[in-house]
Structure 1
């Protein structure tokens, strides 16, 4: 038995939650991975995992072994990286998850620069506005805006974006230009961004001279994907609140008009987030450093 390989297989099953996803992420046959875990259990003389037809659960002994073995695996990776990083360019596979409009308007247009610098890094982008489980989905990092509520993750601030309120000239001609946020409650049509996580519409947020206001009026249309949310505003369906980088082209072309400008809320923070128990590879380090360098310029507010 290759004990080191078996430890890696077992750790990945724990993180992924089942054998199939673990085997896929390690690019090995399911039967091979299962055999390695079984050999590890036989070697240790304990049951690490409880298997049923529907799920895999970690035994108390398995949880204890995982916590101890993952530290060893991280230390070995750190040793390897310290030598390879000094003598070679970063290489390998990066799996990144990012919101839709941030991908299309910010990251993807900037990626040619990153690829030119690091041609040996292969990137897979998961693009959606849904939340992902970094461990079970085997994602190296996610780029997300807003407050952070998961203390098990490591986050690095990479910039902040202006949040603006806008509508088409046709809509404003028909319904009028509001002078104050409270006017949105009376006769105006709102296009809300709906969280794909909990199905709730995000309120329209405003701030002026330290005074903060939230508008939670019933929306005419709700959309749970950022590009489609902006498209609904461009179609004249109502007033939208979105990021300035997403609406920038439409504003310059006159397809959208910013309203309630002096009531802009505080800039919206963006972070790159990764699991704290996951080894930070050389390729992930250079990607994060590159994000910190280029992201603030791309989203408009440092």
Structure 2
């Protein structure tokens, strides 16, 4: 068996945490992945992985081998990229994960321009508000809103998502217009958003003259996906806070009305995030730069 391919397969098993996920990401049969790893262990005469019916763990020898193997594979990829002029013509399959509203309202409408610029890139776009595991799920980069928790990843801030508090004219006609955030606790109904990862509800936040309030609200419905959240607000199910780029066309058309305008909410930082490889591939670099350019031009994603 090819030694380099065996090294790549072994590294993918370590990163994915299982033979099954590694096989799926490499588009290989699970049995073939197993044979590659067995070939490598036989060649090296050491046990690299401990296998049980439920999980795969790396042995001390396997961890040391993976650390050095990852550097070698990165160097090989860099050599191939420079020799094939890939920096000028990025190509290949690119796996990106994006939040629902950012994907549907910002990224996807702009993709025709991206493919005119980079026609040889094939994009696998994962869409959803649930965070993915970049290494385990073999994703090249993600676009995420909010504070970052994975300190091992590289993040580039590409914008800020401002929020507004809104409701439909019909809701306000039936329930009146709130004059103070505290009215959302007992006099009004809210549409809430909860974390798709932890299930924790995110409160409505209000800031005015140095005072900050967090309001959970007496909600009618709570959702964990941004497009569904906006749909619930548009259905007149309550007052809620949503990002400006989602609300803007509906505010312009009169479908939504901004309320509590004297109170603001801190903007949500937006980042493009990728693994800390020493040599960022040409296709990832191209997407990161294009995304930063796209968001810098967007009227509702100011980077101040």
Structure 2 partner of 1:137 = 137
Number of positions where the alignment pairs a residue of Structure 1 with one of Structure 2: 302
Q: Which runs of 4+ in 1 moved over 6 A?
A: none
Contact persistence 1:85–1:282 (CA under 8 A) = no
- Superposition pairs for residues 35-184 of structure 1, below 5 Å? 35-85=35-85, 88-184=88-184
**Distance change (3 Å), C-alpha of 1:219 and 1:92:** same
Structure 1 partner of 2:302 = 301
Given the two structures, how large is their TM-score scaled by the length of structure 2?
0.94
SS class of match (1:158): strand
Q: Measure, in 2, the Cα distance between the counterparts of 1:159 and 1:233.
A: 24
- Superposition pairs for residues 237-248 of structure 1, below 5 Å? 237-248=237-248
**Distance change (3 Å), C-alpha of 1:277 and 1:285:** closer
Structure 1 partner of 2:227 = 227
* TM superposition shift of 1:103: 0.8
**Distance change (3 Å), C-alpha of 1:291 and 1:30:** same
Q: Measure, in 1, the Cα distance between the counterparts of 2:198 and 2:240.
A: 20
Q: Measure, in 1, the Cα distance between the counterparts of 2:203 and 2:87.
A: 51
- Superposition pairs for residues 191-210 of structure 1, below 5 Å? 191-210=191-210
Query: Which range is displaced more, 174-183 or 34-43?
Result: 174-183
**What's the C-alpha RMSD, in Å, of the aligned pairs?**
1.6
Contact persistence 2:155–2:273 (CA under 8 A) = yes
Structure 2 partner of 1:23 = 23
Structure 1 partner of 2:260 = 260
SS class of match (1:135): coil
Q: Measure, in 2, the Cα distance between the counterparts of 1:289 and 1:84.
A: 21
SS class of match (2:272): strand
Given the two structures, how large is their TM-score scaled by the length of structure 1?
0.95
* TM superposition shift of 1:53: 2.5
* Structure 2: segments with no counterpart, 5+ residues: none
Contact persistence 2:17–2:56 (CA under 8 A) = yes
| Structure 1 residues 128-183: Cα deviation after superposition (integer angstroms, max 9, x where no partner) | 11111111111111111110011111111111121111000111122221222222
Contact persistence 2:203–2:216 (CA under 8 A) = yes
**Distance change (3 Å), C-alpha of 1:87 and 1:110:** closer
Q: Measure, in 2, the Cα distance between the counterparts of 1:167 and 1:285.
A: 40
Q: Measure, in 2, the Cα distance between the counterparts of 1:204 and 1:85.
A: 50
**Distance change (3 Å), C-alpha of 1:52 and 1:260:** same
Q: Measure, in 1, the Cα distance between the counterparts of 2:9 and 2:86.
A: 28
**Distance change (3 Å), C-alpha of 1:282 and 1:94:** same
* Structure 1: segments with no counterpart, 5+ residues: none
Contact persistence 1:160–1:296 (CA under 8 A) = no
Q: Measure, in 1, the Cα distance between the counterparts of 2:29 and 2:183.
A: 60
